[in-house]
Structure 1
Amino acid sequence: MDLINVSEQPIDVNKLNDWLSQLPQDGAIVTFMGKVRSIEKQTINLFLEHYAGMTEKVLANIADQARERWQLSRIAIIHRIGEINANEQIVFVGASSAHRSDAFSAAEFIMDILKSEAPFWKKERTMQGERWVEAKKTDKEALKKWY
């Protein structure tokens, strides 16, 4: 069972943890929550656009790929779009499984693939102005361990 959502709404981590934790056969729940960070560039916010319909299909495909590799019960992939301020949550990935190794590996895989393959476009607004954010070399290199 998968929960995939792309929305402008804030992420309710407690609700997602509750959903992931419902199955008594699962001994492992692994989650990742990413937020908009602001370090040297003094990021004020990000504005995320996506390709509606296609984005959800790509995220569902990533979940399917994780299921092919590991024994998983539930997968949650939640990504925000629109304007997201610094220090706010932008993405949540969760996996439940009977065993921790499957849940840990799946959550890491999902996040690595999502960063490179999901059709999101980010515009960063800083004190110095706005710019489109390009894919990081480290995100592309993270794919090598999976393919």
Structure 2
Amino acid sequence: MPELVYAVVTDAPVHIQELSKLVANPHSGAVVTFCGDVRDHDGGKEVASLLYEIHPSAPEQIKLITQSVIGRFEIEKVAVAHRYGDIAIGETAFAVAVSAAHRQAAFDACAAIVDEVKAKLPIWKHQKFTDGSDEWVNCA
């Protein structure tokens, strides 16, 4: 049974190296990671700043969402973190690390976790652009 060793929504910086260390173990021949970093452009516009806002349930939801995915894969350990608040261009906003005996299971699980968290975590991105416009993303 896969172990969720770390799942947080935090206002602190996220470092993929730390998540990778959390999932490393002697049973795993593969550690696959994903880093979602804040980029300086979106939709043809230059991004000036970015803010993530969360619903109060987000810290618990990231755990539940991740747990709902990992049981489908032959993996060992998982660590996931999503940041909120003001995040500078180039900093990590979302990261996932997965360990498994074999690489394909780790790749598949990592991709599935990323997709599910992005689809279901109650978090909203507010982007401000250098042209003075702004937009909210993930607001349904």
Please state which band the TM-score falls in when normalised by the shorter chain. Answer: 0.7 to 0.9
Runs of 4+ in 1 over 3 A off after TM superposition: none
Matches within 5 A, 1:14-93: 14-21=17-24, 23-39=25-41, 40-52=44-56, 54-93=57-96
Structure 1 residue 65: Cα displacement: 2.0
Relative to 1, partners in 2 of residues 1:135 and 1:121: Cα closer, same or farther, differing over 3 Å? closer
1:98 aligns to 2:109 (yes or no) = no
Secondary structure of 2:78's aligned partner: strand
Q: Structure 2 length as normaliser, TM-score? A: 0.87
Secondary structure of 2:27's aligned partner: coil
Question: Which structure: greater helix fraction?
Answer: 1
Alignment-derived partner of residue 131 in structure 1: 134
Structure 1 residue 130: Cα displacement: 4.8
Contact 2:33/2:98 (<8 A) preserved: yes
Q: Structure 1 length as normaliser, TM-score? A: 0.83
Query: Cα deviation per residue 1:91-124 (whole Å; 9 max; x = unaligned)?
Result: 1011111121211111000111111111001110
Contact 1:121/1:132 (<8 A) preserved: no
Q: Distance in 1 between matches of 2:108 and 2:51?
A: 29
Q: Distance in 1 between matches of 2:68 and 2:74?
A: 11
Structure 1 residue 41: Cα displacement: 1.3
Relative to 1, partners in 2 of residues 1:49 and 1:130: Cα closer, same or farther, differing over 3 Å? farther
Identity %: 28
Structure 1 residue 13: Cα displacement: 2.1
Q: Distance in 2 between matches of 1:15 and 1:93?
A: 11
Q: Count residues in correspondence.
A: 134
